[in-house]
Chain A
Amino acid sequence: MSRTYVGMPAFPRAAARATEDATLRSNLRRATHTIRARRAQAVAELADWEELRAAAAAIKDRTLRHLDHYLTLLEENVTRAGGTVHWAADADEANRIVTELVRATGEREVVKVKSMTTQETGLNDALERAGIRAYETDLAELIVQLADDLPSHILVPAIHRGRGEIRDIFRDRMADWGRPAPEGLTDRPADLAEAARLHLREKFLTAKVAVSGANFLVAETGTAVVVESEGNGRMCLTLPETLISVVGIEKVVPAWRDLEVFLQLLPRSSTAERMNPYTSMWTGTSDADGPRAFHLVLLDNGRTDALADRVGRQALRCIRCSACLNVCPVYERAGGHAYGSPYPGPIGAILTPQLRGPASALEESLPFASTLCGACYEVCPVAIDIPEVLLHLRERVAEGGEVTVRGVRTRVRPAKRHAVERTAMRAAGWTFDHPGALRRAQRLAGRARRLRPRRLPGPLGAWTDSRELPELPAESFRDWWSRTRGDAP
């Protein structure tokens, strides 16, 4: 049984543990900084990036505002093309549907394409309880599975592992799952990739059932799209007799033409490539080419709860590129596991609390796992205003408010654990509403520059235990503005 996220500690405690892990921090730093620069270069090649981004946000918003229409249209077109559509209200139901579909084939093994939704539902564990073994075939998912680990990044679930660790995992664990690692395996990435190829080859050639997700579902044609790099996706989508795709209901896009926007935005945002090596598109089933049976499982699992939140629903635009993780100073230091779900980083901080509702201290703490620097919004290819949603969710944690949980509207009470934030938020609300007081408060802060404490007094001390107080500049912005421009802004 692989590890699960159940009972994960709240973000600050998990993050504190991670920040003490020097190997983890250096692995994360190297990887995120590599991809950051390359992404910026790939994006700069397209002069119309902002226009593509605006179109993408609008397409997703149109879809979300009429999601019932597009879901039924999709169902009609998938069915017409020979596929079967199933609906799952929650994770358990999705797992049950997949388990029954696999059982009906008589098979006891499935090969899997990397899929966020099946991470979210815990499908592999559910299959294992039913006596069905699921083989992850994406290289990073394979590393995570062999190491009995948890994914820590949307695109590269094993980003927290360096090449040396990966070599050790392959050497020690591959034999338990099938073909052992080659003798004398080195830590050269090309050799590690070759070891994965040899290890999984036999599985691909013999698998009768595959499980995948999908990056996009086109309502008007019934087409499913999977974007990948290694070819493990093509293997799973093409060679088995039965294909089961578990896809979140927010993955639908209205029209074929809409792919022209997303297929330009996604690869550049995610792997920093002009185009990823392989993209597969299929519509139902085809004669004598690919699986004879195609099942599409449409998953809600909290998505409609997020949809009910007028500010929070923009999180459902997400196309899982992971650009926001790669630029986030908090993610870089805390690592993915601290976020307690398959969705780490800034997007996870707004998605997880909305999908799961106010379930535990973890969900309450996630909206605070940010410095609000705004880098995530800058790089988001579908223009999700992550800081806006973070503040909205913080307010609900601190002040309480309306929330939809499993389709039922309820009021949540202010969270006890966030009394400090509540005080701060009320004070901030009051000061921003009273510009005179804001000026006075800031000037006071300016005069007190030399007296800046290391640790805040009283209940605010808990805040500074895990945060550096910012350095105060010698002159406040307001003072500088009035000195250089005359009027106070």
Chain B
Amino acid sequence: MSGGTSRERVLGRVRRALADVPRHERPRDHPVPRDYRLTHGTRTPADAAALLAANLTDYRAVVHRTDEGGLPALVAGLLGRRGARRVVVPPGLPDAWLAPELLAAAGVEQVADSPALTTRALDGVDSVVTGCALAIAETGTIVLDAGPGQGRRALTLVPDHHVCVVRVADQVVDSVPRALARLAPDRPLTWISGPSATSDIELDRVEGVHGPRTLEVVLLDGTGPR
């Protein structure tokens, strides 16, 4: 249906339009000056985590900080305070992050992801708890790549409350260039900088449209990858 003819017509027009480009010129012959910085300033890992927290907060994400010992109680507390009744958990989330007895005490039912969990069913889930692939300090961004502990994209989209855990030791990068270098293009990627927002009314930013309206980011101090 797309027809080979249109492909050839468009490519033919492109080639005729570029008659002024010397035949011998290869794409790389046209120079791209990359004099920009790969990071904006030098900072220690602690500084990077602090900047990440500040930028996330600036765009109305709620930031918490704890260590591995404190994590289960913090997560259960966040869900309890939210009044969440059901929380979905992606495959591969470390068991140690959630304490079943604390969740039960807070009245939160844990739902494992499965093919049976349709979009419609997911709409009946209040919260989601995930990890991430990395976080970017300079922009206040977390990036999910559907890896272990993150799950398919719908999980972090349909529930209205997203709790995302970032390991400070090995998941915080300084800048956008540093992030792209670590990400795999063949995975579905979602970059998240604060909760859903819009500038569509009088070009002023208001939070909360279709995506999760509450984003809570937990900066996890500790030893690094398990």
Contacts and interface: CB of A to CB of B under 8 A. Distances in A.
Interface in A1-53: 27, 30-32, 34-35, 45-48, 51-52
A388 B192 CA distance: 38
Residue from B12, B18, B21 having most chain A Cβ neighbours under 10 A: B18
Interface stretch (A137-145, A333-341, A413-421, A435-443): A137-145
A155 B36 CA distance: 27
A84 B2 CA distance: 10
B51 to A, nearest CB: 11
A139 B27 contact: no
B225 interface: no
Interface stretch (A127-135, A228-236, A392-400): A228-236
B42 to A, nearest CB: 13
Residue from B9, B115, B146, B187 having most chain A Cβ neighbours under 10 A: B9
Given A58-B31, A230-B209, A275-B141, A205 B120 contact: yes
Interface stretch (B76-84, B194-202, B216-224): B194-202
Interface stretch (A117-125, A157-165, A178-186): A157-165
Interface string B1-24: 111001101111111111011000
A89 B140 CA distance: 41
Give the interface size bracket for B toward A.
Answer: 35 or more
Interface stretch (A193-201, A374-382, A454-462, A465-473): A193-201
Interface stretch (B65-73, B98-106, B151-159, B163-171): B151-159
B40 A47 contact: yes
A132 B135 CA distance: 41
Interface stretch (A60-68, A362-370, A426-434): A60-68
Contact of A58 (B30, B153, B193, B206): B30
Nearest to A36: B203
B192 A205 contact: no
Interface string A140-181: 100100000000000110110011001000000000000000
Nearest to B179: A260
Contacts of B136: 275
Nearest to B35: A51
B209 A197 contact: yes
B43 interface: no
Residue from B18, B177, B203 having most chain A Cβ neighbours under 10 A: B203
A372 interface: no
B189 interface: yes
Contacts of A313: 17
B190 A274 contact: no
Contact of A59 (B32, B186, B192): B32
B214 interface: no
Interface residues of A, number: 108
Nearest to B180: A260
A288 B188 CA distance: 11
A194 B14 contact: no
A82 to B, nearest CB: 11
A34 B204 CA distance: 7
Contacts of A166: 201
Interface string A65-103: 111111110000000010011111100010001001100
A361 interface: no
Given A65-B25, A67-B14, A196-B209, A156 B157 contact: no
A158 B30 CA distance: 40
A156 B185 contact: no
A156 B200 contact: yes
Given A54-B33, A278-B196, A34 B185 contact: no
A231 B191 contact: no
A173 B1 CA distance: 37
Contacts of B157: 231, 234-235, 238-239
A231 B209 contact: yes
Contacts of B9: 87, 89, 407
A231 B211 contact: yes
A116 interface: no
Nearest to B13: A304
Contact of B188 (A70, A138, A204, A286): A286
Contacts of B185: 218, 221, 223, 256, 281, 283
Nearest to B6: A87
A407 B13 contact: yes
Contact of A231 (B16, B21, B138, B210): B210
Nearest to A239: B119
Contact of A280 (B32, B181, B190): B190
26 contacts: A48-B35, A51-B35, A55-B34, A65-B25, A66-B26, A81-B186, A86-B2, A86-B6, A87-B7, A155-B199, A156-B200, A158-B200, A163-B201, A163-B202, A190-B207, A193-B209, A234-B153, A234-B157, A256-B185, A277-B194, A278-B193, A279-B191, A286-B146, A290-B188, A300-B10, A407-B13
Given A277-B193, A277-B196, A289-B146, 13 more contacts: A35-B203, A48-B40, A58-B32, A71-B11, A139-B200, A155-B199, A190-B207, A221-B185, A260-B176, A263-B176, A278-B191, A279-B190, A281-B185
Interface of B: 1-3, 6-7, 9-18, 20-21, 25-28, 30-37, 40, 55, 59, 115, 119-120, 123, 136, 138-141, 146, 152-154, 157-158, 176-177, 180-181, 185-212
